[in-house]
Amino acid sequence: MPTAALLLLAAACAPAPQPPRSHDENGLWARRVWLHEAQDDAAIDTLITTLRARGVTRFYPFLGPPDETGRPGWRDGETLRPVDPDIAATNLRRLAERAPELQVHPWTGGVYVRDVDLNDGPRLGRWIDAVMALPVQGVQINVEPMPEQDAYLDLLRAWKARLGDRTLSVAAYPPPTPQHPFPDVHWSLPFLREVCLIADELAVMAYDTALTEPQPYTALVAEWTRALATLPPPEQGGCLIWIGVPAYEDNVGWHRPDAETLAAGLAGVNRALDEGWPAHVRGVAVYASWTTDAAEWATYDADWRRRAPVDAPLIDAPAPAAAAPPADPG
């Protein structure tokens, strides 16, 4: 066969090149102020401008765990202060009107058993009722810790049944790893698949590993990203995926801020996706707005979005670690 014909045949058999993926569809966990406190037009407009500048299309403001009546709130010491539904509804409507492209998914759930008892059906029902009374585009369920169990899948099915065409997002756990043998905060790929088949979106919390060096953490995030990319996409009844990366400074046993850095997490995501980027892996989700400083946002711009740092205000002022525990931010 002539050389020209061989070249044409090889070109015909080669896989079609994939278009470059966008780095502009990311998520961000945020403080309670965007739902629990009234915001004026200037604050809402600044928030929207900053989210757009940072390529954030999924915004997870803290709504909080439910009380006995099902009403979500935030903990002030031992007191659970419920959300004012009128304030939350007003803020949600104004965000939807001013930024129709932005998906706002209030983050609700809390501590397993204390806040979300899977055996207490009436309280779970009241919780769903209270949240669904708000004009939500979607909801993100975050229960920590959460061992694999059918009752949790049933809870997600109940949420999805009420949400209908609106989005069910799950703050999900990464696969098990020998470096961190705690099953309550890791989900096997078969269980993740079950969650993915119910939910519309997963924001996978790829941190809290107890690793003490950044290089092993980068390698683990790359391994997790590759594994998560094997979950079914929406066209197969599955879900969209965001990889959660840490930008908080809590120095605790399960998180070493000099090891689990934003740069190390992004390096792991990049390592995996540079090998092949499936369309249903949409981007990264940053934890969290109130702990990410200007230098970390510059790292995010350079390492993830691959652009010069954006000149945009901080969405929430970084707070001291002791004032903003991950489970219930103020």
Contacts of residue 266, defined as CB under 8 A and 6 or more positions apart, other chains included, come to: 245, 284, 299, 300, 303, 304
Q: In this predicted structure, what is the pLDDT of residue 320?
A: 47
Q: Domain 21-323: give its CATH architecture.
A: Alpha-Beta Barrel (3.20)
Answer whether 281's CB lies under 8 Å from 243's CB.
Answer: yes
Q: In this predicted structure, what is the pLDDT of residue 151?
A: 98
Q: In this predicted structure, what is the pLDDT of residue 328?
A: 53
Answer whether 319's CB lies under 8 Å from 289's CB.
Answer: no
Name the pTM for this structure.
0.92
Q: Could you tell me the two tokens for 63? A: 């709504």
Residue whose tokens read 């969650």: 195
Dist CA 280 CA 296 (whole Å): 26
Dist CA 209 CA 225 (whole Å): 15
Q: How far apart are the first and last CA of the chain?
A: 71
Q: In this predicted structure, what is the pLDDT of residue 318?
A: 58
58 phi and psi angles, rounded to 5 deg: -120, 115
Where along the chain do its domains lie?
21-323
Q: In this predicted structure, what is the pLDDT of residue 172?
A: 98
Please choose, from the candidates 31, 91, 103, 95, the residue with its C-alpha nearest in 3D space to the C-alpha of residue 63: 31
Answer whether 310's CB lies under 8 Å from 23's CB.
Answer: no
Q: In this predicted structure, what is the pLDDT of residue 22?
A: 79
Amino acid at position 330, single letter: G
Q: In this predicted structure, what is the pLDDT of residue 259?
A: 97
Give just the sign of the alpha carbon dihedral 53, 55, 57, 63: negative
Mean pLDDT by 10 residues, the chain (330 residues): 43 46 93 96 96 97 97 94 98 98 98 97 98 98 98 98 98 96 97 98 97 98 98 98 96 94 98 97 97 96 96 74 45
